[in-house]
Amino acid sequence: MTGVLAFIGRQTLGLLRYASGLYDLTAKTAYWTFVAPFKGRGLKWGSAIHQMVVAGFNALPIVSLISFFVGMVLAFQGAYQLEKFGAGYFVAALVGVSMTRELGPLITAIVVAGRSGSSFAAEIGTMKVSEEIDALEAMGLNSVKYLVVPKYLAMLLMMPCLTLISDLSGILGGTVFGIYQLDQTFSMYVLATRDALVMRDISTGLVKSLVFGVIITKVGCYEGFAVSGGAEGVGRSTTSSVVVSIFLVILADLFFTALFYYTS
Amino acid sequence: MAREFDGPMIRVVDLVTHYGERLILNHVNLEIQAGETMVILGGSGTGKSTLLRHMIRLERPTSGHIYLKTHDVCCMPEERFNLLRRKIGMLFQSAALFNSMTIEDNVALPLRELTQLEESTIRIMTRIKLELVGLSGVEQYMPSELSGGMKKRAGLARALAMDPEILLFDEPSAGLDPITAAGIDSLILKLKQAFRMTVVVVTHEMASAFTIADRIAMMRAGEVVAVGTPQEIRASTHPLVQQFLNRTPQDEKKDAQAYLRSLTESNY
Q: Which of B49, B55, B82 to mutate to test the interface with A (most CBs of A within 10 A)?
A: B82
User: Could you tell me which of B169, B258, B156, B179 has the C-alpha nearest to residue B212?
Assistant: B169
Residue A134 forms contact with B (CB below 8 Å) = yes
Provide the number of structural domains found in chain B: 1
B177 inside domain: yes
Whole-Å CA distances, A220 to A50, A123, A159, A234, B191: 17, 10, 15, 11, 41
**Burial (0-12, 13-18, 19+ Cβ within 10 Å), A128:** buried
* pLDDT tier at A141, thresholds 50, 70, 90: confident
**If DSSP codes are grouped into helix, strand and coil, which group holds residue B225?**
strand
CA distance A256 to chain B (A): 37
B108 inside domain: no
Q: With CB atoms and an 8 Å threshold, state whether A135 touches B98.
A: yes
Task: Tell me the H-state helices in chain A.
Answer: 2-30, 45-51, 60-82, 91-98, 104-112, 118-129, 132-138, 143, 149-181, 186-196, 199-225, 230-263
Residue B67 CB-half CA count within 13 A: 16
Residue A141 forms contact with B (CB below 8 Å) = yes
Type of residue numbered B50: T
Residue A137 forms contact with B (CB below 8 Å) = yes
Q: Are A133 and B96 in contact (CB under 8 A)?
A: no
* Residues in chain B within 8 Å Cβ distance of A137: 58
The partner residue sitting opposite A130, judged by closest CB among B94, B114, B162, is B94
The chain B residue lying nearest A127, using CA atoms, is B98
The chain A residue lying nearest B56, using CA atoms, is A138
The partner residue sitting opposite B92, judged by closest CB among A127, A134, A142, is A134
Distance in angstroms (rounded) separating the CA atoms of residues A167 and A205: 9
Distance in angstroms (rounded) separating the CA atoms of residues A130 and B39: 24
Distance in angstroms (rounded) separating the CA atoms of residues A214 and A212: 5
Distance in angstroms (rounded) separating the CA atoms of residues A249 and A55: 17
Q: Are A124 and A149 in contact (CB under 8 A)?
A: no
Low-confidence stretches of chain B (pLDDT beneath 50): 1-2
- Residue B196, phi-psi category: left (phi > 0), alpha (psi -120 to 50), beta (remainder): left
Type of residue numbered A59: A
Distance in angstroms (rounded) separating the CA atoms of residues B7 and B245: 31
Distance in angstroms (rounded) separating the CA atoms of residues B233 and A30: 52
B125 inside domain: no
Which pLDDT score is estimated for B15?
A: 86
Distance in angstroms (rounded) separating the CA atoms of residues A223 and A128: 11
The residues pairing with B90 across neighbouring beta strands, listed in sequence order, are B168
Whole-Å CA distances, A258 to A100, A211, A263: 16, 15, 9
Residue A135 forms contact with B (CB below 8 Å) = yes
* Residues in chain A within 8 Å Cβ distance of B92: 131, 134-135, 138
How many degrees, rounded to 5, is the angle at CA B77 between CA B76 and CA B81?
A: 70
Model confidence pLDDT, tens digit, residues A156-183 = 999 999 999 999 999 999 999 999 988 8
Q: With CB atoms and an 8 Å threshold, state whether B110 touches A139.
A: yes
Mean pLDDT score, A114-124: 94
Distance in angstroms (rounded) separating the CA atoms of residues B69 and A92: 73
Which pLDDT score is estimated for B1?
A: 45
Q: Are B95 and B89 in contact (CB under 8 A)?
A: no
Q: What is the mean pLDDT of chain A?
A: 91
Type of residue numbered A217: T
Q: Which of B84, B109, B116, B200 to mutate to test the interface with A (most CBs of A within 10 A)?
A: B109
Which pLDDT score is estimated for B13?
A: 87
Which pLDDT score is estimated for B184?
A: 86
Domain that holds residue B175: 10-87+164-264
Q: Which of A128, A139, A143, A228 to mutate to test the interface with B (most CBs of B within 10 A)?
A: A139
B199 inside domain: yes
Model confidence pLDDT, tens digit, residues B44-86 = 888 888 888 888 888 888 888 888 888 888 788 888 888 888 8
Which pLDDT score is estimated for B196?
A: 83
Model confidence pLDDT, tens digit, residues A74-113 = 999 999 999 888 888 889 999 999 999 999 999 999 999 9
B69 inside domain: yes
The partner residue sitting opposite B82, judged by closest CB among A127, A132, A140, is A140
Q: Which of B98, B152, B200 to mutate to test the interface with A (most CBs of A within 10 A)?
A: B98
Which pLDDT score is estimated for A65?
A: 96
Q: With CB atoms and an 8 Å threshold, state whether B114 touches A139.
A: yes
Which pLDDT score is estimated for B254?
A: 64
Buried-state track A247-261, b at ≥16 Cβ within 10 A, e below 16: ebbeebbeebeeebe
CA distance A143 to chain B (A): 12
Q: With CB atoms and an 8 Å threshold, state whether A131 touches B98.
A: no
- Name the B residues in 72-91 with CB < 8 Å from any A CB: 78, 81-86, 88, 90
Which pLDDT score is estimated for B266?
A: 65
Whole-Å CA distances, B13 to A141, B1, B16, B25, B39: 27, 20, 9, 12, 18
B256 inside domain: yes
The residues pairing with B215 across neighbouring beta strands, listed in sequence order, are B38
Query: In this structure, what CATH number is given to the domain that contains residue B60?
Result: 3.40.50.300
B132 inside domain: no
B97 inside domain: no
**Predicted structure pTM score:** 0.85
* Residues in chain A within 8 Å Cβ distance of B82: 140-142
